[in-house]
Amino acid sequence: MQKTFTCIMCPKGCRVKLTVENDEVIKVEGNECPLGARYAIQEFKNPLRVVTTTVRIKGAALKRLPVKTAKPISKSLIKECLRTLSDVEVNAPIKCGEVIVKDVCETGIDVVATREMLSLNEKDEEMKDKMQLFDFLLGRVKEIIDVPCNSYEKFKAICQLFIDNVGHYNWVGFYILDESKKELVLGPYVGEPTEHVRISIGKGICGQAVEKMDTFIVQDVSKEANYLSCNPEVRSEIVVPIFKNKKIVGELDIDSNFLSPFTKEDKEFLENVCEMCSECF
């Protein structure tokens, strides 16, 4: 018996063919790199997986509630499960372990909350939202970084996570440093398309962050002379370098459609995120 898998461990997307006898892999073909063979064998030997995702929640500090299947489900049902959960919305308060969806996709397995979510009034939200939100997001970023897939998919997932959960993050993207050409190259992003796919060091907010080797915050882009405009709705920007062995290898760029939205909490949070992302280089 032969089974074919498409590897997601690197951008090559190798198609790996396994020859199987008596549930044992006896031959591996088509792997252009060791990652492909390792991924295919792992997928074959582990047909079940715990699904982790988030659902919408109302009346809480966060917009999304992290959930998971109480037991592993068949990988063939993962897409259907995620589609089902994308339509789910719950109301706070929610207890950790509380059942959110019973018998998801008729598997006999429940989907449960993986953290407590309290109800907050408007005053509480204003005072407590940001720190609680950032603590939650740091945990989700760590989960994304730990997933066995390529860096592009991880960075894309982080961009989407921020867009979905932080109201004043309106464009989120990564730039990768091409040191040989002294340019930043646009990587994964979520938001309006940008013409700035390559940026020279020292040019714009992104280029200045590399030049200064430090986080660069502009609370009002109309007052910044060295600014590359790509969307007239953008009012402010923060760029955080990603360091590897004390050298910049990339950066996280966030545009906001609001004036002066970035606080020291944003800066500390995003610098922690970039420290985690350095593991992907």
For 120-170, what is each residue's pLDDT tens digit? 654 455 446 678 889 999 999 999 999 888 899 999 999 999 998 888 899
**Does the structure show a pLDDT above 70 at 11?**
no
**What is the distance between the alpha carbons of residues 247 and 225, in angstroms, rounded to a whole number?**
27
The model's pLDDT over 58-90, given as tens digits with 9 standing for 90+, comes to: 877 677 888 999 988 887 888 899 999 999 999
Convert the pLDDT of each residue in 36-61 to its tens digit: 777 777 777 777 878 888 899 887 76
Residue 10 has pLDDT above 70, yes or no: no
Mean pLDDT across the stretch 18-45?
Answer: 75
Average pLDDT over residues 167-193: 94
Q: Give residue 127's pLDDT.
A: 45
Q: Where are the domains of the chain?
A: 2-45, 52-113, 120-280
Q: Up-side HSE of residue 198: CA atoms within 13 Å toward CB?
A: 5
Q: What is the pLDDT of residues 207-266, one digit of tens each?
A: 999 999 999 999 999 999 999 988 888 999 999 999 999 999 999 999 998 889 898 999
The more confidently predicted of residues 140 and 116 is 140
pLDDT recorded at residue 8? 55
Dihedral sign (CA 194, 145, 56, 65): negative
Percent of the chain with pLDDT over 70: 91
CB burial of 163-197 (b: ≥16 within 10 Å; e: otherwise) equals bebbebbbbbbbbbbeeeeebbebbbbbbeebebe
Q: What is the mean pLDDT of residues 10-39?
A: 73
Q: What is the pLDDT of residue 32?
A: 62
Cα-based angle 203, 138, 88 (whole degrees, multiple of 5): 110
Residue 182 is encoded by which pair of tokens? Answer: 């002294």
Answer with the residue of higher pLDDT: 33 or 57.
57
- Which stretch, 79-83, 192-196, 261-265, 269-273, has highest mean pLDDT? 269-273
Pick one of 3.90.1170.50, 3.30.450.40, 3.40.50.300, 1.10.3720.10 as the CATH number of 120-280. Answer: 3.30.450.40
**Quick one: pLDDT at residue 65?**
87
Please say whether the structural domain 52-113 has been given the CATH code 3.10.530.10: yes
pLDDT at site 123: 43
Helix, strand, coil distribution of the chain in percent, nearest 5? 35, 30, 35
Measured in residues, the chain has a length of 281
CATH code reported for the domain at 2-45:
2.20.25
